[in-house]
Structure 1
Amino acid sequence: MWLDRIQRSNGKFLIVGISSDGMENIIELQDAYRYRLSCPQGRYLRASTSFGLWSRATARQYAAGYSMTKGVTEHHVIYSFSCNSMKILLPSWILQRDLFSPPNTMFKYLYTIYGLECLCYRKVSESGYSVELTPTHDKHHLLASTKHALDRITWFFSYPSANRAWKSVYDYARCGEIGLELPDAEITYSVHGNVLGDTLFADHFRVTTLRPIEGPMDWAASAQKEFRFDERSNHDVKPRYKTDKNLLRKDGTFVVSDQEWLEIESMMMRTGNRTSSQNRELLNGIIQKFALGLPWSGVSRLADGCSADKEYRILLRKKRWSDIKEVLLKRRSKSKSAEKMSVDSDFIKKTRFGGRLRDHDLPSRISGMWTMSTREWDVIRPIIRKSTRMRATSLARHRLIVDSIICKLAIGSTWADVARTHGIPRTTLLRAYETLKRDGQWAKIRAVLCDARIKGVPSWIRN
């Protein structure tokens, strides 16, 4: 419903709302803040702006963005401003709903003459001044609000243009209009709305932080210079794409194994024109998307991105994805050892799991992979060259050998399994590991890996 204008009845302000068919509805002021134009498929933007850069637009232009043309008048002030290459149209009511938040408490003071003076007062003490709420029954709700209501009220009370903005809402309402005089301030904000071409028609607006670009009133010389209006700052943004690194194996791979597929195959959706191998490729695409935090368009050629997206939605709707994920996590979670014992030095621990040697304290890279990064290899390469019996081997084979040893110790698999996976003879890996240990070079290699992956830069390298 479009909130078109304000009318007064028996000394009380009422909102005139217009439905999509042009019918007028009278809405109580304290209920009007709940109404918003529905746009579930809209777009979110987050940026910074200054109120001084805003201009006016027409109400009919905004309402047309939601296919509302009947009965719309120009009694609702619309603001226009730019975000990158996007033009944003923002109604005054939506801006009021956020600036004067929480609206269910603040609006009854906002649309009253001398409402700000009824809501708070200036308290002067030896340490300076402070803005205090008057002892009304609304005081508890304002102090408990997550919208930093007291900070907002302090700004409205202490800064000239903010004070004028508060009082202008009542002046506009007396003329039957929805609007306010914009204050002198810079803000960070998030906005959501319907996008048509290069224009976003806002249906939700949130100010995160506000910084006045004017001086406070004389008595408020010590007023704060920046106000936080929401619990979530401009940096507390959720990741753009969902990521679940638990779907990665310890060696950084994600592809479904034969054993996993035997359990999962019956859970996948069956269609007449899709083979088992195609279903497996689709599942690999879904796992890749979440394990690596990719967009659906970034899923590799193991599966078509769009098809993997569609398959995931179906599995989610049929409540099968949770069962599939449970199988994957169960098989890929870290095995817990019942017994640990020290071997050779403080950093090597041996687990009684088939007699396999394992280093539980060896960290992985941030991406979840165990193999060396290019930067780590640049540091480790001269260490390898100092070891006897390793000088005759090529650098490319050196790196493959060290990566194989790291994966073996980190995962705890057998030397035979690592040799088969990396294509290096088992005896070559064993001989290389024993040589590096005997020459004292493996301790340095491990120190590089631990420092680079935990602290960032090894201390002994800096020295």
Structure 2
Amino acid sequence: MEWLDGFEMQCGTLVARLVTNVGIRFEDNLGALAKIGVPDGDYEWRAPFTTDFADWTCATTEGYLGAFPSLVDASTSGSHQIFRFRHGWSDFLVPALVLFRALFPLIPDAFEYAFTPRMLELLCQPLENDGHWSVTLPDFKGVYRGRDRPSTRESLTWGSLFPSANNAWSSVYKNCCRGSFSMSLPLAQARILPIGIRRGRTVHVTSLSIGAVLALETPFDFASGAANSFLWNRNASPLEPHTNHYQEPAIHRQTSSYTRLTDAEWARVRHVCDPAQSLKGRKPRDCRRTIADGLLQRYVTGSPWKEIAQMPLTPNALKVHWYQWRKDGRFEVLLKQAREIHGIA
């Protein structure tokens, strides 16, 4: 069990001071704070609810750590900001680190960018497509390229387009340089699901899940007209009907449907899809054309695997081919050829 008690400068390097039940330890890998620094909890609120950050106030560190006897005596600095808000008959105490993790769900390699002076511009850049917005992200050893992380992209898009969200990110580094972990609250509403320890009518939150966010402000001038509703979870209910829904440049931008490759089109891209013959001379078990159709439909529509695999291929098999074709570069070449066929740059 650990608690982020604050920050110190050691040999010119910013390090985190962590309180444990056996003493104090220092952590120089600040990206690791994406996974550590807050006690564990097992109480889960039964249903998500909506909260307005304007209703949140500050509480004391001692009040929050009162639910964790092994930590309350060790931490006396009060350098970790605690937020308080009420929902129904319950009071919720939320550490700033828990809130920041929920607002910006990042892998450790990206989380450490919160502790740099150049703010979000060092991590990502806004990207616009037909009025919808997203961000570009580094590869991070294939983590973001290999799987879809809508929560990461939507949260960073929100942080890049709206002033108070951007300030919430940048305030973390400024306050860490002063020795504390605290942040500015954004002008927004969020649908949340808290997890923590209940003591009477107070819930000491240790983990927070955000499904949707609604910005209550106008975006930066360069993003004028951008949607102010975002979904961290595609299955969540939006707080406003018109949500930001960025789609990568597709083969057919004018429609969300997809028409399978014709015989002429398949003849032009077939050489891309045929893998090198194996040493044992075995033929591929699955039809290359069927796979190509399924992968292109997935890319264009973003439909679930079970809806795409209306063919001899199972959803799991098609998913395996998706990762394999992207790994060996076949899908990128196929996509380039398909764009050339349809006259898309």
> TM-score over 0.5 for the alignment?
yes
Q: Which residue number corresponds to residue 8 of structure 2? A: 7
Give the Cα separation in 1 of the matches to 2:94 and 2:121: 28
CA contact under 8 A between 1:77 and 1:179: conserved in structure 2? Answer: yes
Post-superposition shift, 1:129? Answer: 7.9
Post-superposition shift, 1:207? Answer: 0.9
Give the Cα separation in 2 of the matches to 1:179 and 1:74: 11
CA gap of 1:128–1:39, structure 2 versus 1, over 3 A, is closer
Determine which of 194, 212, 216 is the counterpart of 1:213.
Answer: 216
Give the Cα separation in 2 of the matches to 1:175 and 1:79: 19
CA gap of 1:140–1:222, structure 2 versus 1, over 3 A, is farther
Query: Secondary structure at the residue paired with 2:72?
Result: coil
Give the Cα separation in 2 of the matches to 1:170 and 1:54: 21
Post-superposition shift, 1:132? Answer: 3.6
Q: Does 1:120 align with 2:117?
A: no
CA gap of 1:43–1:122, structure 2 versus 1, over 3 A, is closer
CA gap of 1:208–1:129, structure 2 versus 1, over 3 A, is closer
Where does structure 2 lack aligned partners over 5 or more consecutive residues?
239-345
Which structure is richer in relative contact order (CA contacts within 8 A, separation 6 or more)? Answer: 2
Determine which of 141, 154, 157 is the counterpart of 1:154.
Answer: 157
Deviations 1:87-107 (A, max 9, x none): 000001111122121241331
Q: Which residue number corresponds to residue 26 of structure 2? A: 26
Give the Cα separation in 2 of the matches to 1:223 and 1:43: 34
Q: Which residue number corresponds to residue 65 of structure 1? A: 67
CA gap of 1:186–1:124, structure 2 versus 1, over 3 A, is closer
Q: What is the correspondence of 1:40-189 to structure 2 with a 5 Å cutoff?
A: 40=42, 42-45=43-46, 46-67=48-69, 68-72=71-75, 73-122=77-126, 130-133=133-136, 136-138=138-140, 140-142=142-144, 144-189=147-192
Give the Cα separation in 2 of the matches to 1:180 and 1:84: 25
CA gap of 1:106–1:98, structure 2 versus 1, over 3 A, is farther
Give the Cα separation in 1 of the matches to 2:142 and 2:133: 18
Give the Cα separation in 2 of the matches to 1:124 and 1:61: 44
Give the Cα separation in 2 of the matches to 1:147 and 1:124: 16
Post-superposition shift, 1:31? Answer: 2.0
Q: Which residue number corresponds to residue 295 of structure 1? A: none
Give the Cα separation in 2 of the matches to 1:124 and 1:39: 39
Give the Cα separation in 2 of the matches to 1:124 and 1:228: 17
CA contact under 8 A between 2:53 and 2:186: conserved in structure 1? Answer: yes
Determine which of 197, 202, 206 is the counterpart of 1:203.
Answer: 206
CA contact under 8 A between 1:44 and 1:191: conserved in structure 2? Answer: yes
Which AA in structure 2 matches 1:8? M
CA contact under 8 A between 1:172 and 1:178: conserved in structure 2? Answer: yes
Which AA in structure 2 matches 1:53? D
Q: What is the correspondence of 1:274-285 to structure 2 with a 5 Å cutoff?
A: none
Deviations 1:193-222 (A, max 9, x none): 111111000011011100001111122112
Q: TM-score, normalised by structure 2?
A: 0.62
Which AA in structure 1 matches 2:213? L
Which AA in structure 2 matches 1:169? V
CA contact under 8 A between 2:164 and 2:187: conserved in structure 1? Answer: yes
Which AA in structure 2 matches 1:17? L
Give the Cα separation in 1 of the matches to 2:212 and 2:188: 10
Which AA in structure 1 matches 2:122? C
Deviations 1:320-374 (A, max 9, x none): xxxxxxxxxxxxxxxxxxxxxxxxxxxxxxxxxxxxxxxxxxxxxxxxxxxxxxx
* Identity rate, percent: 23
Give the Cα separation in 2 of the matches to 1:53 and 1:2: 26
Q: TM-score, normalised by structure 1?
A: 0.47
Query: Secondary structure at the residue paired with 2:39?
Result: coil
CA contact under 8 A between 1:55 and 1:81: conserved in structure 2? Answer: yes
Give the Cα separation in 2 of the matches to 1:88 and 1:122: 34
Query: Secondary structure at the residue paired with 1:151?
Result: helix
Post-superposition shift, 1:157? Answer: 0.8
Deviations 1:164-184 (A, max 9, x none): 111101111111111110000
Give the Cα separation in 1 of the matches to 2:223 and 2:113: 22
Which AA in structure 1 matches 2:112? K
Which AA in structure 2 matches 1:75? S
**Matched pairs, number:** 231
Give the Cα separation in 2 of the matches to 1:123 and 1:65: 44
Give the Cα separation in 2 of the matches to 1:197 and 1:130: 43
Which AA in structure 2 matches 1:201? H
Query: Secondary structure at the residue paired with 1:148?
Result: helix
Runs of 4+ in 1 over 6 A off after TM superposition: none
Deviations 1:96-121 (A, max 9, x none): 12212124133121111114112222
CA contact under 8 A between 1:100 and 1:106: conserved in structure 2? Answer: no
Determine which of 223, 226, 229 is the counterpart of 1:226.
Answer: 229
